[in-house]
Structure 1
Amino acid sequence: MAFLDLSHLEKSFGNNRVVKDFSLPVEKGEFVSFLGPSGCGKTTVLRMVAGFETPTAGKILIDGQDVTNLRPNQRNIGMVFQAYALFPNLTVAQNVGFGLKVAGVARAEIDKRVTEMLRLIGLPDKGPSYPFQLSGGQQQRVALARALAPRPRVLLLDEPLSALDAKIRVSLRAEIREIQRELGITTVFVTHDQEEALSISDRIVVMNGGIADQVGTPFEIYNRPTTRFVAGFVGTLNLIEAVAGPTGTAKIGDATVLLPEGHNQAPGGKLTLALRPEGLHLGHGRDVVLPATVTGVEFMGSVIRVDLTAMGTKFSLDTFNRPDAPPPKAGDETQVTFAARDLIVLAD
């Protein structure tokens, strides 16, 4: 049985259904991210788990206990918010120990636990400081320590990194993942940033219009999207219009390719195929070769993004930077090639 079990959750505000028949089992110690655009329902699901919203229908179980109608303080859940939500009039140590103090834990035990938490987040000497004396990244670390101090059963993270600058965001997400693994705590992380979700999750739930469009590992979500929305939302995508041929084939320009297993559209029907930029290559030698014109080149350090036009369609191609091989220039005539196995057949 799943440690955190969300079963057929629904949430409506008046006539607006923002979460629709949402079910998800989460194993003990698993790190699951809810990924999607604003308004897709991801934060509403998180708030229902936390107890800040009451489901219109469905159940929430934690370690076999039905917590659907319990108050937030009865669920033993830790939560970290986007805006830190630290008490400005309390020191860092007092902020971290706040939940333990409210629970009536003895002072000596609070001090011991606060010391453990500050060491865990890498701020062992910041106990006497006040929040305004800390950087944004340090304040978010303190918020994480405060959430973890009472030893919650589940940790909820509501876009905790979005207020930080890019470099701190990358380092802090790695620290959060390392702490989560060390403690083995079941964690749900809400984000609209695909890179965040792909880099730290065991599984990702891609949400769209109040439903889970796809649930899978980062590898599955990126390489094998099952819907047009997931394919377009996660990563950059090249779309190729094709015509279905006999027995699981498709015609792209003058080339006939074998579609991935399980796709057998009726011959003559139109297909939309997709291809990641790293699946395209300059030159020839793969299943499909198309004449192309370079329309732009973007140098991004280790990766070079080449924009091309082929068959009247715009393509983006990613290739590694090589000092001994300068990239093409806008206006160059070339060939673009790819393997049939890298194609993704998109469903609506």
Structure 2
Amino acid sequence: MSFIDIRNLKKSFGPTTVVHDFSMAIEKGEFISFLGPSGCGKTTILRMIAGFETASGGEIRLAGADVTHLPPARRNVGMVFQAYALFPNMTVAENIAFGLKVAQKPQAEIKARVEEMLALIKLPQLADRYPYQMSGGQQQRVALARALAVRPQVLLLDEPLSALDAKIRVSLREDIRNLQRELGITTVFVTHDQEEALSISDRIVVMNEGRADQMGRPFEIYNYPQTRFVASFVGTLNLLKATVVDPSAGRLEIEGQGVIAEHGAEAHARGATCTVALRPEAVTIGEPGPGRNALSGLIEEVAFLGAIVRVRVRVGTAAISLDLFNDPTSPPPERGTAVTIAFDRDDLLVLKD
């Protein structure tokens, strides 16, 4: 049995349904990220797991127990909020100890646990400081320690890094992942930042309008998006219209030029129009090798981005971007140059509309 089992979960606010029949099984020790734009339902699901929102339907089971209608205090979950939510009149040590005091733990146990948590977040020297005397990154570490101090079964993180600057975000997300691995705690993380989700998750749930468009490992979500929404939301992508010529053989036409897709064309009728996706890093300039697709076009734009040179090629009415590594010994191609671009059949993804 899964450690967290969510079955047909629903949430409505009046006549508006914000979560539609959501189901998922989460294993013990997994790091799961809910990824999606604002209003997609990801935070609502997190809050229903925590007990801060009441489910309109469905079931949530934690370690085999039905917690769907239990109050937050009886679920043994730890929650870290976007806005830290530290008590301003308490020191760092007092904030971390708060949940333990509420649980009426012995003073010696509280003291030992606070010291353990301060060491874990590498802030033992700040025990007597108040939140206003600390940086945002330090405050978020304290919020994390407070959530972990009570030894929760599950750690829930609601966009905990969104208020921080870019460098601190990268550092803190690595710390969170390392802590999670060290403790082996089952973790659910909500974010709208695709890089965060891709870099630290065991699995990602891409949410769209209250539904899970796709669940999978970061490798699968990025390389094999199943819907147009996932393809466009996760990473940079070329989305192109194609005509199905031979579904069984995967033969398509893009701007009148023939290509082959290894998978997905069989789901469409002959002559149908479908959407195909192509990652910029999958495309190269030059004649194709055996078994590769090729399209002819004109270089429309060249953008120097440091380590990467992004080139846009006009193929009929379509524009295809590709990424080249910066090579100081080989200048990038000139605008207006006629080129052939090539890519593997596996890299041409036929999407479900």
Say if 1:95 and 1:146, in contact at 8 Å, map to a contact too: yes
Are 1:137 and 2:137 matched, yes or no? yes
1:1-348 matches, cutoff 5 A: 1-246=1-246, 247-248=248-249, 249-253=251-255, 255-261=257-263, 263-264=265-266, 265-286=268-289, 287-348=292-353
C-alpha distance after superposition, 1:106-155 (max 9, x if no partner): 11111111111111111121101111111111110110000000000000
Q: Separation in 1 of the partners of 2:140 and 2:76? A: 20
C-alpha distance after superposition, 1:25-80 (max 9, x if no partner): 10000000000111010000001001011000011111011111111111111000
Q: Separation in 2 of the partners of 1:258 and 1:334? A: 20
Say if 2:264 and 2:351, in contact at 8 Å, map to a contact too: no
Q: 1:308 deviation in Å? A: 2.2
C-alpha distance after superposition, 1:280-304 (max 9, x if no partner): 1112224233232223222222222
- Counterpart code for 1:277: P
Moved more, 74-83 or 300-309: 300-309
Q: Separation in 1 of the partners of 2:337 and 2:92? A: 59
Runs of 4+ in structure 1 deviating by more than 6 angstroms, as ranges, are none
Say if 2:255 and 2:317, in contact at 8 Å, map to a contact too: no
TM-score normalised to the size of structure 1?
A: 0.97
- Counterpart code for 1:271: C
SS in 2 for 1:97: helix
SS in 1 for 2:47: helix
Say if 1:255 and 1:288, in contact at 8 Å, map to a contact too: no
Q: Separation in 1 of the partners of 2:51 and 2:34? A: 17
Q: Separation in 2 of the partners of 1:177 and 1:240? A: 36
Q: 1:253 deviation in Å? A: 4.5
Moved more, 265-274 or 232-241: 265-274
Moved more, 226-235 or 315-324: 315-324
SS in 2 for 1:245: strand
- Percent identical pairs in the alignment equals 61
Q: Separation in 2 of the partners of 1:198 and 1:169? A: 14
- Counterpart code for 1:65: A
Q: 1:2 deviation in Å? A: 0.5
Q: Separation in 1 of the partners of 2:161 and 2:304? A: 27
**CA RMSD, 1 decimal:** 1.4
TM-score normalised to the size of structure 2?
A: 0.95
Give the total of aligned pairs: 348
SS in 1 for 2:125: coil
